[in-house]
Amino acid sequence: MSDVAPAASPGAARFAVPALTLVAIAGAAVAIWYLADLLMLVFGSIVLAVLLRSIASVISDHTPLPENVAFAGAIALCLVLVIGATLTAGSQIGGQMAQLVSKVPEAWSAVEKELQQHQFGQLILDGAQRLLDGKTVPSMYGFATTAFGGLGDALVVLVLAILVGANPGLYKRGLLALIPRAGCDRVADALDAAGRALRGWLLGRVIGMAIVGVLTGLGLWMLGVPMALGLGFLAAVLDFVPFFGPILAAVPAVLIASGQGWALAAYTALLFLVVQNLEGYLFEPMIEKWAVHLPPALTVLAVVIFGFLFGIPGIVFATPLMVVTFVLVRKLYVQWALGKAPG
């Protein structure tokens, strides 16, 4: 009796490969689902590391400083800018942001009373209530817990960004060590392309946010809306979030303006609409000439997909996630697996 095991039939082998592939995909999907928060922290640190490395590259290109010293200089430069902005306008922005926290609920109460006097307004309030699903304002304990959790996450992202940005080659080589030797060069090329795309997108996004903040703050000041500086700063920060960010920035501004009359509230809403259209149709096409271009449909799809997978952090990082995914799919699947030239 022979001890040699019978060889697997060709049919069984053909079935095993797709089955194992499906199992691997399902396992990866489950891992992504359960590790969503951790993955978002890691990706946020990568985005910040790319930003710091971009600043360091500019420093090293225009000075005789080596890369490591330039990276330390980039961190120092960011600290100086943050501290300088805090000392010059930080107290005013902080004071206005604190006023916003207290004034927005007051403004909403006044708007709510006004809407309750009209049938159409009551329909709006009923729709907003259904949208909120009857949820009440979180308790102070819950708010404090969330705030401290957010500060802890920000600290983790900052530390990881510095560690990754200080020596990105180490982590890249570690990732490539998991790839079969035959595909290492192609994967390395795809990772480099994704890094360049993310760097270009970040640079364009920072410029766009600055333009939105300046135009919004200046416009609100010219209209006579209170706390224009704080509202402009809020518009700049929230402009990082696709689609929802500008809406979230406009709501408190319109509510604050409504305290001085519905005409000013309407002008404020019109200002936000004009600024967003200027950014979308004038400034973004100019920036995209040297930054990465992502089709608008993919941006919408990114918000839906990554928002479903990762929640609010997925919405915040939807566009950079799609930028990286778009480049990796084009490089590894379209060009490598399918053998097609990029469109």
| pLDDT range class, residue 136, cuts 50, 70, 90 | very low
Residue 144: pLDDT above 50? no
Residue 9: pLDDT above 70? no
CA distance 198 to 326: 11
Q: What are phi and psi of 3, to 5 degrees?
A: -90, -5
Lowest mean pLDDT among 65-74, 78-87, 109-118, 150-159: 109-118
Residue 52: pLDDT above 50? yes
| pLDDT range class, residue 19, cuts 50, 70, 90 | low
- What pLDDT does 154 receive? 78
CA distance 230 to 311: 27
Residue 92: pLDDT above 90? no
CA distance 152 to 149: 5
Q: Give me the mean pLDDT over the 49-71 stretch.
A: 88
Q: Give me the mean pLDDT over the 69-94 stretch.
A: 75
- What pLDDT does 135 receive? 46
Question: Greater confidence, 13 or 321?
Answer: 321
pLDDT in tens, 283-312: 777 776 666 667 777 888 888 888 888 888
Distances (CA, A) of 312 to 102, 242, 316: 24, 12, 6
CA distance 247 to 91: 26
Give me the DSSP letters along 196-207. HHHHHHHHHHHH
